[in-house]
Amino acid sequence: MPYFYKMKRSRASQTPVHTGTSKQVPGSTPGFLQHPNVLPGGMLLIALLGVAIYSNSFECSFHFDDYFNFAGDTRFPELDDFSAWWQFSRTRLVAFYSFALNIHLHGLEPWGFHLVNLAIHILNALLVAWLCVKLFDAPGMKEHALFPFRKEIALVAGLFFVAHPLATQSVTYLVQRMASMAAMFYLLSLGLYASARLANSSRHRRALFYGGAALAAALALHTKENAFTLPLAILLVELAFFRTGTTIPWNNKSVIPLALAGTALFIWLLIAVVPSGIFKTIPPSYEHPYMLTPLSYLYTQFSALLKYLQLLFIPVNQMLDYDFPVAKGLLEPRTLFSLMVLLALLGFALFWWRRYRLLSFGILWFFLTSSVESGIIPIYDVIYEHRSYLPSVGFFYTVTAGAYLLFRQKYPVYTLGAFACIIFSFSFLAYQRNMVWKDHLSLWSDNVAKAPGIVRPWYNLGFAYKELGKWEKAEEMYNRALRLSPEYTDALSERAIALEKLGRREEAVEVFSKLIAQRPEYPNVFLNRGVTLATLNRHEEAIRDFDESLRRDTSKLAAYLNRGISHAALDQSDEAISDYNEVLKLNPRNATALFKLGNVHYKRKEWEQAIARYNEALAVDPGNVQLLVNRGNIFGFLKRWDEALDSYSKAVALDPSNVMARHNRGLVYAQRGEWKMAVASYDEVLRLDPNYLPSKEKRAFALTQLNASQGADGFEK
């Protein structure tokens, strides 16, 4: 029996069909849902529900790949340099450009990114409802029993989409705008294509819709790679809802441009956009101790797809990083069972294609839109929640339409009540899930509680504690990660840094040495060990590490800077000056290098050179109190009392508790014979530190001089 043919009216004993009249179908839902304006009002309801659910997401921080893609060291091209953008990223150009626009408008403030992500998600929910209505208006659904309920089904599907907690990773996890934005253009393109097919009365209007569909398709294809299935999705819509006969009428003029455009698009994707080597095997790593071949990835995806379906039905125990086993073979029980379930779903979609076209379409949509990320192309992480974002549209169509077919006649009120309860539950769970995304600590604490057997969540939880300055907890989390993966280089490096911060520097050196023996090419490992050795005053060893770091990368500013500090500590001033000058070649406004260079000249009593470097450093870092104190000291040595007093006074204004600045200001007042001001300065020092001996001694002398300068009546002579 062929699968594709025009739907006939069912017999009286079968499910009632739409007659094309405005009469209410027996058993249909009465009341406001039959009102002609239910969909516009429902669109407002979708938007308001989306705002309510994600109202607590605006304070959520950047996470994980956010830093790699836009919130870290990534440098985007200039907004108007489109050739540079094309070279920067082809398959995700639109998404990256949107991140660059966010940064241009409000910098790295997360709320702006969240606002855009939420707007995209709400728009997607509206597109889900709109596309559903368009599909019902197509010839393949006009006479279907569900046609009178098309707006109601569209509304429920849109509400499911906006409320489902599985979408939070595509909305609140900011970098996954790539998934939601690709879905937006994908759905828009399909909706405009359906509109063009329905606009038979106006050639110009049809051309406008086709043009809009083509533009949206181009944007989708340059937002994320999972949009590459869009040509097939258009074909699926065409066959399911517009070409319902047994054959495709190739003599129809509208089919030929569609076929040619689809062929050209496919060839262009292969040549211009799709990167080479996408089918390469992914070797094991410290984070993922398994090898991924195209076949092992495909077998694993059978279980992953079943997991997505389970989460769509029952969204519990969500997490960012899943502990998900990689399939060892097709005949493995878990893999084989998953494959059988998926084949059963596919068989249902094909078998019931004629009678339950929207249900079958939803199932085929789920498989089609999952095929890029859950197919034969290996991806480093085998499962991520955001990969279900676009496929979930088909799930919601199938579940909503199926529920209406099963329950609409006998239990219309109960059916709507059940939908309302489910949508409310999903909304509550999504709101709660957003609270987990609030910051690194909440996100990764949740993840390790749900998946304690994988290494990456423990490492990231350690990093969260590191950001909070809780070094003991950070070191504990890194140890947990290293128990699972003893050779995990990132965890070894961060643990060594934590040990150094905790003052356990000898242990830190041991960990760095282990890391060097394991991965001598690892970035910054020699640099970090050198810094730790320098804090232990083992400057000769530190310099050797800095030398090794620079041998691997001569652009390491920190290596030059720290080597200069070690040379200065060993009184090797010429070498220190040379290193600081190398830093300034790389960054002429490096305040630390200018300050340290000034200190070397200070120690060599090269006063004018020291003053010049301090002035340059203060131009970059005017709030550096120690710079002001050191410069004041030089002015004091040169007996330039007014300039010395100015430097010390600025230091005191910036840091009123600075004992050295107040004491030295007292010395300047004393040199100027201003004994009353000198005594007051020493009094302030002793108020801050009653045991500060230099001020005690100087105050006694200044007080004697003050008394001697006054007459018997207390007036100054």
Query: Could you report the per-residue pLDDT of 441-453, keeping only the tens digit for each?
Result: 999 999 999 999 9
> Is pLDDT of 510 > 90?
yes
Least confident range of 274-283, 575-584, 657-666 = 274-283
Cβ–Cβ < 8 Å for 613, 626 = no
Mean pLDDT of the 309-318 span: 96
List, for residues 593-617, the tens digit of each pLDDT value: 999 999 999 999 999 999 999 999 9
Q: Give Cβ neighbours of residue 676 (< 8 Å, ≥ 6 apart).
A: 706
More confident residue, 635 or 246: 635
**Is 70 exceeded by the pLDDT of residue 96?**
yes
Q: How far is CA 448 from the centre of its chain?
A: 19
Residue 200 vs residue 90, higher pLDDT: 90
Q: Per the domain annotation, does 557 fall within a domain?
A: no
pLDDT score, position 20: 35
Considering the domain boundaries, does residue 305 fall inside one? yes
Residue 415: alpha-carbon gap to chain centroid: 38
Q: Which residue has the tokens 């502990």?
A: 323
Indicate the residue among 433, 449, 478 that finishes a domain.
433
Domain tally, the chain: 2
Residue 505 lies in a domain: no
Of the two residues 14 and 617, the one the predictor is more confident about is 617
User: Tokens in use for 128?
Assistant: 């889900």
**Span 252-282, pLDDT tens digits:** 555 556 556 666 665 555 555 555 567 788 8
Residue 704 CB neighbours (<10 A): 11
Mean of pLDDT over the chain: 88
Three-state SS for 610? helix
Q: What is the pLDDT of residue 282?
A: 84
Determine, yes or no, domain membership for 569: no
DSSP 275-326: PTTTTPPBPP-SS--S-B-HHHHHHHHHHHHHHHHHHHHS--S--SS---PP
Last residue of a domain, one of 404, 433, 462: 433
Q: Where are the alpha helices (DSSP H) in 54-92?
A: 65-66, 82-88
Position 487 scores a pLDDT of 87
Place of tokens 């060097």: 516
Instruction: Please give the average per-residue pLDDT across 566-574, as a whole number.
Output: 95
Is 576 domain-assigned? Answer: no
pLDDT at residue 407 above 90?
Answer: no
Confidence band (pLDDT; 50, 70, 90) for 507?
Answer: very high
- 1: pLDDT strictly greater than 70: no
- Rg over alpha carbons for the chain, rounded to the nearest Å, is 35
Last residue of a domain, one of 392, 412, 433: 433
Per-residue pLDDT at 25 exceeds 50? no
If you ran DSSP here, which 8-state letter would residue 385 be given? G
**Residue 521: its pLDDT value, please?**
85
pLDDT at res. 121: 98
Domain for residue 422, yes or no?
A: yes
CATH of the domain at 708: 1.25.40.10
CA contacts within 13 A on the Cβ side of 509 = 16
pTM of the model: 0.81
The 10s digit of each residue's pLDDT in 457-496 is 999 999 999 999 999 999 999 999 999 999 899 999 999 9
* Domain span including residue 678: 624-717
Q: Give the model's confidence band at 520: pLDDT under 50 very low, under 70 low, under 90 confident, else very high.
A: confident
What values do phi and psi take at 282, rounded to 5? -100, 120
Instruction: Identify the weakest region by mean pLDDT among 272-281, 386-395, 469-478, 514-523.
Output: 272-281
pLDDT of res. 508: 95
CA distance 127 to 374: 24
What is the pLDDT at residue 581? 95
Residues near 464 by Cβ (< 8 Å), separated by ≥ 6?
439, 440, 441, 443, 444, 445
- Asked if residue 260 belongs to a domain, the reply is yes
Structure tokens given for 372: 């890029």
At residue 265, the pLDDT reads 60
DSSP conformational letter for 166? G
pLDDT in tens, 29-84: 443 444 455 667 889 999 999 999 999 999 999 998 999 899 887 889 999 998 99
Read off the pLDDT band of 11 (50, 70, 90): very low
Average pLDDT over residues 550-571: 92
Share of the chain above pLDDT 70, in %: 89
| pLDDT single digits (tens) 320-361 | 999 999 999 999 999 999 999 999 999 999 998 888 899 999
Q: Which residues contact 554 (CB under 8 A, 6 or more apart)?
A: none
Q: What is the pLDDT of residue 103?
A: 95
Pick left, alpha or beta for residue 27 (phi over 0 → left; psi -120 to 50 → alpha; otherwise beta): left
Q: What is the pLDDT of residue 562?
A: 96
Is 526 within a domain? no
- pLDDT tens sequence across 158-187: 999 999 999 999 999 999 999 999 999 999
Question: CA of 558: how far to CAs of 528, 531, 579, 709, in Å?
Answer: 10, 10, 10, 55
